[in-house]
Structure 1
Amino acid sequence: MGKINRLDEHLSNMIAAGEVVERPMGIVKELVENCIDAHAKNVEIQILQGGIDTITIIDDGDGMDAQDATLAFERHATSKLKEVNDLWNIHTMGFRGEALPSIASVSHVLLRTNNGIDSTEVEINYGKLMSAKPCGTPRGTMIEVKNLFQKTPARFKHLKSPQYEFSLISDVVQKFALSHPEIGFNLSHDGRTIFKTRGNGSLLEVLMQIYGRDTAKTAIQLDGSDNDYKISGYAMQPQFNRATKYYMLMYINGRMIRNYHLQKAIMDAYSHYLPKERYPIVVMNMEMDAQLVDVNVHPSKWEIRLSKEKQLEKLVYETISEALKNQLQVPEVKKSELKKEKVEIQEFDFTYEREEPVKKLHDDINDSFVHPQNNPEPIIEDIPLPAPKEIKKEKPVITYPQKSYPTGVRETFVKEKDIKYQTSKKVEPVKEEKKTEPIQKEPVTPKPEKKIEEVKEPEVIVEPPKQEEVKPVLEPVLAKNPSLPQLQVIGQFHNCYIIAQGEKGLYIIDQHAAQERYHYEIIRKQILEGVKDTQPLLLPITIESSISAVSQVDTINAMLEQLGIHLDVFGNNTFIVRELPVWMKDTEEEAFIRDMIDYFEQDNETGIDKLRKHAIATMACHSSIRFHRTLTMEEMKQVIADLGKCEQPFHCPHGRPTLICLSDNDLIKEFERG
């Protein structure tokens, strides 16, 4: 007897399910594709417990008759293909005939369908047909998938939390909405509507719902074509970028795909407009003859093969480059960033009656509090002075704006014109009364001048500092870390590198990398020691994100709360932050938190420790000295001193070196003095 056995149909379906139905997201993808092929105008997706409990999909498409409703659950039964040539000319989303039997083999499925003539209900329990009978149901199809993988424990244990599984479902539904804006999608989770589109054919409206109003209103329309391909869609302005590459969405004839070479063409077109390790947001549909693309590569239908791939890559690059060149906009500062809160300043309010000169003085005092910049120097008004005898009893007080001067150098604060101004102001009222005898007997004018001279003399008699005291001296910066040499700062090169000399030769320090290393260790130490001092925000920060991220807010907070950051859900796709750690005051808070959310969505299968390390490194980078910034000698010494306090001072958190050394021996060889 031979060793080869023919597998029964149920076992074949179970094997196929391993490729088609990896998790609830795969089921939703396959069933929604069937809705699109059935010409549905509205698709409703109801999810319970992340799809692990129940997935219900309702459409208003063509529906099926009683015979097709039962036949659809048999393997390789499909209405999309009839002969071999149809396989090379596919215009539908599905074509393999494996989705429904594979899904039915690992779950409990209930199907109700109506094609306008017949209404049928079919029930299948883990591959076994339970019933097929007439029923009452609206035009279209309803399919319910329950208890997924309950009888396949090896597959069930690999499912993650309901929040994570739903995040994948929401992501794929949004991709369908972007590829088919003419279809209305309604996604709900545990009875709450999460995402909904109107299906009016406006791609910009869907973009606004997913990425926000500011991003969508400046989107650049793509329009390119050649003899074989036609490109349409939108590319976002470079200032709206992301930390991961998963926001470049590509479709071929309305089918969502993954293709590294086309993705690289998009990144090359944006390379002149984006900083390193930032990625654009692009939604691009490529239309072509179905015979130029092979979608029969993998059962999941994410992978494809193109007949003229290089030609399409060139067209993608040229189309996006031309669009950016012609429609690039200068980034606008948000009004909220420029808006200043008006602070009400209480003014002096006197209830008693005042003389006109005194009233004017009070008004000027009030004005000096409201507009202090209008009064940089002291002003003495022409107010009648008291009797001359009273002037002798009070010493005139002269105040001037404070000014900082170098240590050891004193300068006079009294300018000659100020003395004349003050003297004239005080003497003038007295001159009007010179007719009276008391004033002739006791002249008042010389006394104020004499007192002013007494104030001036000690300020003027100051010896200038000696030249030897200003002479620069190269002092070694002592490092606490014994592995780091003692360095003497020489200067700065190209406003990027600090030049210093040490025992072994010439040292070049990357000012940004050095500061980044120091801040990284400071923040890490504070976090590990449990220091989470936070500062409430006067104006909370709102961050628009994806529905998949919002659905995993608890998991994201488990990572961010170790940094002292907590996110609250504000709507279906928005987070709100009400307080931040005090050490984030020098960072771009919104950009930092957005990056952390993006990295979490990219690496959500990685440990929290790895994400936390990346978060601290990003925070340290944002708060460090940048390239092309001029530093004073003291600032350069401080950078080196901070580097010497580090446990590991030789590399930044991203692995780049903080300093390099050009040894004396190398210099001698280069100058041929050896």
Structure 2
Amino acid sequence: MISIKLVKYSIVKKEAGSKERFYRKPGRYNEPMPETTHIHLLPDLLISQIAAGEVIDRPASVLKELLENALDAGSSTIQIQLEEGGVKLIRVIDDGDGIARDELELALVRHATSKISSLDDLERVGTLGFRGEALASVAAVARVTIASRQQAGQHAWRLSAEAGATPEPAALPFGTVLEMRDLYYNTPARRKFLKSDSTEFAHCAEAVRRIALAHPEVGFTLTHNGRVSLHMPRSDVRTRAGAILGEEFLAESRCLDAAAGPLRVFGYCALPAYSRARGDAQYVYVNGRFVRDKLLNHALREAYQDLLHGSRYPAFCLFLEVDPATVDVNVHPQKTEVRFRDARAVHQFVFHAVQRLLSGPLATPPAPGAQTPAAHEASSHEPDHPARATQAGRPIFVNRVAYQGSLGIREPASSHTYLAFAQAAQTPASLPPATATIETEAAPLGYALAQLHGVYILAENHQGLVVVDMHAAHERILYEKLKHALDEQGLATQALLIPAVFNAEAIDIATAEEHAEALRQLGFDLAPVGPRQLAVRAVPVLLQAADPAALARSLLSELREHGVTQLLTAARNEFLASMACQGAVHARRLLSLAEMNALLRQMEETERSGLCNHGRPTWTQLSMTDLDRHFLRGR
């Protein structure tokens, strides 16, 4: 039996002077209503403390505001000194323009700034700071001191933010030193919300990295409790990206630089193989300002969608340049969100720029002067004839007769090139070495030599050895073909000479009958042949080499889970990727030389073929230099 306890709130009548006031009885969290209810102005200090609650939520927020002021002052070198995670001390030293003596006191007043003076300036903000709130907000919750000297000044001037303080002379090279001590000393309730010193320092260090990444022309040094934590000298975008995101990120990234009218986006996008378990390597900037914008994040997520599946996160650092008049940066207290005047145009521009980059050419030509196989010195112990594999697990060389079945891959128009090369490989004397070199230069992935463990294709190209994961590569090829066919005219059907019959549940038979038209659109013809049996009478031409029964079971399961509408729209690509995975050539299957070369040519013609549908690389290159280094040749 369930009992319900009713809580009765009583209305209590209370005398307040000559007036009768009614209020709810105070409960556990309720406080009596204040006696004063008339409208009045808040004190300036309380106003600043309220503003600080919006702008300053932890030491990292203070540091961000101070760094933005230093950059707006034209600094070329900035030093940051922290103590106890920035709670006890944040000191920012810059070599910027400095502040005049007469303006020091004004710098600590709310809404006092040198960066804008009219509504037109606000609508075309080109600086990182512009509201004139930061220093006043910090001074309301911490002890702040400013020392500054302009280049033309005879000496520096120092001012404390304490009431009644006046500027006094100080010794300082040109620039500004802004010091904040004892954050939230006068609001202890807010101080309780801060985390440990190590956690607060981690947030401060990340704030420095975010700003430093967008300003490689400025040198940054960060110390914590007297120890240097970060030191980044002045450099270029690539060097700074490597210092912050790591050299591995650069090695696994592609450089982006695209423009369309007033829009430009540049930076680095990591390949999906470099994906991460967390989104901690994603940096997006608008006119040099770090942002977390839902529109831009969605565009980037969509650009990676066909390459990165599951719960992995891509890595990138991208800089978007737009006309300041077309973007509103005054929509968030901490200026981490923006609003674009033409949001759709920006979304499509970023999406297509990144998608084209990730779908770019499979391989780039070797650098001029690169060593070619023909020019490479032959080893003195090389055999005069191709090796023959006679034991399991050893390479299958070109003179071995492999399985002659079909992968369902058409031979490209340029197939005569690799066929000629294949014939020459079987009769080496018929093709001079110079001609062989020209032929290997004709295709980025070169020409097949062997199959290793029934899993990898070994090929020779202009640079050296190419190793291809044949299942992953074939999976990507089928996936792109399935998408294209469904977009164009629907999937062509191949009738089976002998229908594939399999046992099915009653719900499977009902699903096949209910969605017969959708199944035909996807290239399948299924029909019941008994109370518990279904027959597959036709499959898509592109998947004719796959197991028809397995494909049908997977399709029926997807239809039950998603429904036909979602399967042909939102979940379409995931379904096609699943079908491509089942239809791709599996490990341990021996391929003929022609099949291996046909697969290589198709990879060169297919978008995004450097990665499979799950974001894994499909091939890798081992140059002659790499091989020489491994075998200590020339030493």
Q: TM-score, normalised by structure 2?
A: 0.51
Contact 1:115/1:139 (<8 A) preserved: yes
**Counterparts in 2 of 1:135 and 1:267: CA distance versus 1, 3 Å:** same
Counterparts of 2:161 and 2:549, CA distance in 1: 69
1:635-646 aligned at under 5 Å gives the runs: none
Q: Which residue of 2 aligns with 1:193?
A: 228
Contact 2:213/2:240 (<8 A) preserved: yes
Identity over aligned pairs, percent = 34
* CA apart distance, 1:214: 2.3
Counterparts of 1:278 and 1:198, CA distance in 2: 33
Counterparts of 1:69 and 1:138, CA distance in 2: 17
* CA apart distance, 1:328: 5.7
Answering whether residue 339 of structure 2 is matched by residue 305 of structure 1, we say yes
Q: Which residue of 2 aligns with 1:231?
A: 265
1:578-657 aligned at under 5 Å gives the runs: none
Structure 1 or 2, whichever has the larger Rg, is: 1
Instruction: Point out 4+ residue stretches in structure 1 off by more than 4 angstroms.
Output: 327-330, 493-497, 627-631
Contact 2:223/2:229 (<8 A) preserved: yes
Answering whether residue 313 of structure 2 is matched by residue 276 of structure 1, we say no
Counterparts of 1:289 and 1:50, CA distance in 2: 37
Q: Which residue of 2 aligns with 1:154?
A: 189
Letter in 2 for 1:209: A
Contact 1:494/1:628 (<8 A) preserved: no
Q: Which residue of 2 aligns with 1:134?
A: 169
Contact 1:248/1:263 (<8 A) preserved: no
Q: Which residue of 1 aligns with 2:159?
A: 122
The Cα offsets for residues 573-630 of structure 1, whole Å up to 9 and x where unpaired, read as: xxxxxxxxxxxxxxxxxxxxxxxxxxxxxxxxxxxxxxxxxxxxxxxxxxxxxx9999
1:15-26 aligned at under 5 Å gives the runs: 15-26=50-61
Answering whether residue 105 of structure 2 is matched by residue 70 of structure 1, we say yes
**Paired residues, number:** 346
Counterparts of 2:325 and 2:304, CA distance in 1: 30
1:113 to 128, 148, 151: 148
Q: Secondary structure at the match of 1:225?
A: strand
* CA apart distance, 1:248: 2.2
Q: Which residue of 2 aligns with 1:211?
A: 245
The Cα offsets for residues 196-220 of structure 1, whole Å up to 9 and x where unpaired, read as: 21112x1111222222222213431
Q: Which residue of 1 aligns with 2:275?
A: 241
Q: Which residue of 2 aligns with 1:57?
A: 92
Contact 1:42/1:184 (<8 A) preserved: yes
Q: Secondary structure at the match of 2:220?
A: strand
**Counterparts in 2 of 1:11 and 1:224: CA distance versus 1, 3 Å:** same
Counterparts of 1:53 and 1:130, CA distance in 2: 22
1:438-517 aligned at under 5 Å gives the runs: none
> Which has the higher mean CA deviation after the structures are superposed, 59-68 or 262-271?
262-271
Letter in 1 for 2:333: P
Letter in 1 for 2:195: K
1:136-535 aligned at under 5 Å gives the runs: 136-200=171-235, 202-326=236-360
RMSD: 3.1
Contact 1:496/1:629 (<8 A) preserved: no
Answering whether residue 68 of structure 2 is matched by residue 28 of structure 1, we say no
Q: Secondary structure at the match of 1:242?
A: coil
* CA apart distance, 1:324: 1.6
The Cα offsets for residues 500-555 of structure 1, whole Å up to 9 and x where unpaired, read as: 9xxxxxxx9xxxxxxxxxxxxxxxxxxxxxxxxxxxxxxxxxxxxxxxxxxxxxxx
Q: Secondary structure at the match of 2:331?
A: coil
Counterparts of 2:80 and 2:114, CA distance in 1: 23
Q: Secondary structure at the match of 1:239?
A: helix
Counterparts of 2:43 and 2:391, CA distance in 1: 94
Letter in 1 for 2:254: I
The Cα offsets for residues 128-185 of structure 1, whole Å up to 9 and x where unpaired, read as: 3444211111111011111101220111000000111111111111111111111111
Counterparts of 1:328 and 1:241, CA distance in 2: 19
> Which has the higher mean CA deviation after the structures are superposed, 264-273 or 301-310?
264-273
Structure 2: gaps of 5 or more residues: 1-35, 365-389, 393-545, 558-583, 589-635
Contact 2:245/2:281 (<8 A) preserved: no
Letter in 2 for 1:159: L
Contact 1:46/1:55 (<8 A) preserved: yes
Structure 1: gaps of 5 or more residues: 331-373, 377-492, 501-507, 509-626, 632-674
Letter in 2 for 1:325: S
Answering whether residue 103 of structure 2 is matched by residue 38 of structure 1, we say no
**Counterparts in 2 of 1:218 and 1:8: CA distance versus 1, 3 Å:** same
